[in-house]
Structure 1
Amino acid sequence: MAQVDLTVTPTLVADQVFDVLRSRILAGELAGGFPLRVRDVAAMVGTSVMPVREAIRRLEEAGLATRIPHKGAVVRKFSVSELIHVYQVRTLLEVQVARRGAGRVTDADLTKMQAACDRMLQAVAEERVSDALDEDEVIHRTLYNAGGNPFLTSVIETLWLQCRPYKVMGAAEATANDDLYLTAGNC
């Protein structure tokens, strides 16, 4: 008997709910510990519960929400100490993988990294923080993949997910205060 793929793809409504919730969390409008009760969120955004359940699941995957047993999901609390710990681990791993990758990077890798840098600068100029962060990750991923250890790159990508909310909040703050400065020479 053939296997049937029963994977449900996210709907447009679930994508929209996710985007609204993510934006409100990153803007600080939904504080850490705020309960994400499915029915309450559905009423808040004006939709049914199904897309809200999918959106909350995606928030958990993105590290923006956590599930508390017997209570449901809440907005994740962010702390400076957690960020420091994650960056300590990132520093240990990323310095080593960058050294390894730098010696093995190809011309094609450099071309890919330069194109990502150009796109990142454009995203910064247009204040598209998430897109700029995506391109930054393309640059680093390309360098790290050149090192030849896909498992290590995967571990680092997991740490990036832990840092992403902090980066978005920091970039939004810097943009609001006009402190964000990048030039083509910075890539």
Structure 2
Amino acid sequence: MGGQARVSDRAFDALYTAIIHGDLEAGSRLQVRDLAESLGTSMMPVREALNRLEEFGLVETLPYRGAVVKTFSQGVCVKELEEKLQQIQQALDAQDPAGFLDAEEAMLTCVFERAGNQTLMSFIRTLWARSRYYKMVGVKDLFETGNVALLYDEAAQFVAGATTQDENMALDALITALKHAEDGIRAELG
């Protein structure tokens, strides 16, 4: 763990990397003493690193078990996703851009919150709030050009991927939606 960074930062980086790469699997107990020994540091930097990892939603502290690598819920809010997809369709039918954006954000929130990472959700909500005007412009353009079916198709593909736990399908839907948003922004700026 060489380098100029603080010892707790290096411990955080090492543990974060081990979790992300699967070297520390979900449910693994994180014994402070053992981790400190394997990282070649004292226990205090490891405790600080574990606290930060808990803030990131990657570690949780359980009664009588101590810190463990967080196990993510595979359960998806299927009924809620289907309801949000219906709300998306209703907003599109009503030519209601704000209603569409509200339903789309609620649909995505349903899935993103399953990660249990409040820091991430706070960040995402901030991005949504800051980009709401631009998203509204893009959605209104799609309403004007009659391309609203595209919005429904992207949402339906995401819901299908999420409810069947087909991460590639869900990710493809998100990437497609981002690509369409990028194309729209480029057209507006062009």
In our comparison, the structure showing a higher alpha carbon Rg is 2
Greater fraction of residues in helix: 2
Under a length normalisation based on structure 2, what TM-score does the superposition of the two structures give?
A: 0.44
